[in-house]
Structure 1
Amino acid sequence: MLARDLRDGGWRDQCRTAFFKADPFPHIVIDGLFETQFLREVRAEFDSGLAAARMIANQREQTVRSTDPATFGPQTLRYFDAMHRHAMVDFLQDITGISPLLVDPTLLNGGLHECRDGGRFDIHLDFNRHRHTMLDNALVALTYLNEGWQDDWGGGLELYCSKRRQVVRTVAPVMARTIIFAHGPNSFHGHTQPVNTGGRMVRRSLATYFYTRRTGAGDKIGYRSTVFAMDGNRRFAPTDIVSAGPDRSPRQRIGEAARLVTPPLLWNWMRHLVGSL
């Protein structure tokens, strides 16, 4: 099933170096982490795995996502079991420097992702915390299942530099390719070029999120969902801010939203003038 030896120290060193040197934020692209034939078997189960799914269709995102791992086929379950096992977690902790990494067997926001012709996902920042455990979103691994994917079909994963306001790298979603990247304040990504295969294929991927517990100023911010890079001047604004508990007032939620999009120096100056939000 796994095509690489996760215990190989030399390969780990190469992966660690590639991860930290990557631009515009820490990430690594690994081709052939899993055997291609195994992933073909996972892809063959995809439709049944989406028996319980939610469709998202708005101006910024058109995707289909699984909602219940109980509908997954046996090979799909093997894939996620491998992603959650100690060997994989230990490998990821080593190459990313993020420890401890904690798994989520419920695959909230993860699981099976599908994008059909016309579908896209604007440049965005992922949710900051697990909605239920409130652990911090630390890392995501995406494995693609699209054999024979062509560049002119769109759907490439774009890694975006928020400082330079431009796409730095585009990763084609080809079969047996896995991308692993850290979640942070600048890890903006998406696939803005609409999928257009002429009905030949749908863009499919497997998503696994890993969590950790961080301390700091961010502890005051509850759960928030996706933050999109807005069109035009590429400003950033949070959408669908959700509080951590019922006792958080509208004023606090506004403060959380403002904190996410205000540079630290300016934020500290504002707090000095008007008091803590």
Structure 2
Amino acid sequence: MSYVELIDERTGFMAPMGGQTLGTELTERYNAAAPFPHVVIDDFLPAPLLEKVLEHCDKLKIDEEAATFDRPQERFKTSYQPDTLDDDLRALFYSFNSKPFIKLMENITGIKGLIPDPYFMGAGIHEIKQGGHLSVHADFNHHKPMNLERRINVLIYLNKDWKKDYGGSLELWDEQMTTRHQDIVPLFNRCVIFNTTSNSQHGNPDPINHPQGISRKSIALYYYTSTWDGTKRSHTTQFQVRPGSGDKRDWQVKLTELKNELLPPIIARRIRF
């Protein structure tokens, strides 16, 4: 039995939520969690559906729609756009943008008026290969094409029989980067939902070290609200450094932000780092 029941396991379509209260039993725990609101739900979707997603991962190809990163802060990471997937999996991602799924997310988080992203900007299927990692960071906060404020992340893991020793655990850190509060192993069909703010520090900084060289895979979904206004400062991904680690600072982003804050736009546009 999965947490989310579907009327069509081929596409991932949920029944209309109507007045259903599924998710509200988690709201208090979600908002009381440290270091920021979050919840971990195992057996989130029917396993056969995610088995199908995992099988498709063997056919993923890096094309013009994929985004690949290989630098000190995000090593051997690729994000695959949902619109490049097989039709059944495209339908699954479209169901994640449907009213029933959004209602479930609102029930869990207590955040009303959530808006999905039809562009899947930064979302999709994420893969990190052997030796890769994603440093602790706070995500970009502004969906510029839609002028929306980013509010929650939903991660659904696709990793069979994954052990902590294989690396890739999701770490949640406090705002000051002094304490790691959570260390979540990315197990198959485990879903992690959390608030996204400029201070929600998270990542999987320990390199992937699977004995058979299998990559770490996940579904990543982001949701927004129409609360963006001129009082907020838009920023890209903000990487952090764990105390006592060999993590590298992202000086390029820091310098670009400093340039844009201190220089007139006509001059800032001419400077490249």
TM-score (norm 2): 0.80
Residue segments in structure 1 that go unaligned for 5+ positions in a row: 254-277
After superposition, where does 1:68-107 map in structure 2 within 5 Å? Answer: 68-107=81-120
130 and 50 in structure 1: CA distance in 2 versus 1, 3 angstrom threshold: farther
Tell me by how many angstroms 1:230 deviates.
2.7
State the partner residue of 1:16.
Answer: 27
Residue equivalent to 1:118: 131
Contact 1:50–1:71, Cα closer than 8 Å, also in 2 = no
Partner SS state of residue 152, structure 2: strand
With normalisation by structure 1, the TM-score equals 0.79
* SS at structure 2 position matched to 1:45: helix
SS of match in other structure, 2:40: strand
CA displacement at 1:128 relative to structure 2: 0.9
Dislocated runs of 4+, deviation >4 Å: 5-11, 231-239
What amino acid is aligned across from residue 225 of structure 2 in structure 1?
T
Superposition RMSD on alpha carbons, in Å? Answer: 2.9
Q: Name the CA shift for 1:84/1:2 in 2 (closer, same or farther; >3 Å).
A: farther
SS at match of 2:103: helix
1:48 maps to which of 55, 59, 84 = 59
Structure 1 pair 240/158, CA: closer, same or farther in 2 (3 Å)? same
How many residue pairs align between the two structures?
247
Whether the 8 Å contact between 2:21 and 2:107 is mirrored in structure 1 is no
User: How far apart in 1 are the matches of 2:214 and 2:28?
Assistant: 35
Letter in 2 for 1:169: Q
Q: Does structure 1 residue 227 correspond to structure 2 residue 238? A: yes
Contact kept? 2:153, 2:193, Cα under 8 Å: yes
Unmatched runs of 5 consecutive residues or more in structure 2: 6-13, 266-273
Deviation at 1:96, TM superposition (A): 1.4
Deviation of 1:2 (Å): 6.6
The CA distance in 2 between the partners of 1:175 and 1:189, in whole Å, is: 19
Partner of 1:137: 150
1:236-255 residue pairs with structure 2 within 5 A? Answer: 240=253, 250-251=262-263
- Tell me how far apart the structure 1 counterparts of residues 67 and 214 of structure 2 sit (CA, whole Å): 20
Higher helix share: 1
Aligned-pair identity in percent equals 26
1:4 alignment counterpart: 4
What is the Cα deviation at residue 105 of structure 1? Answer: 1.9
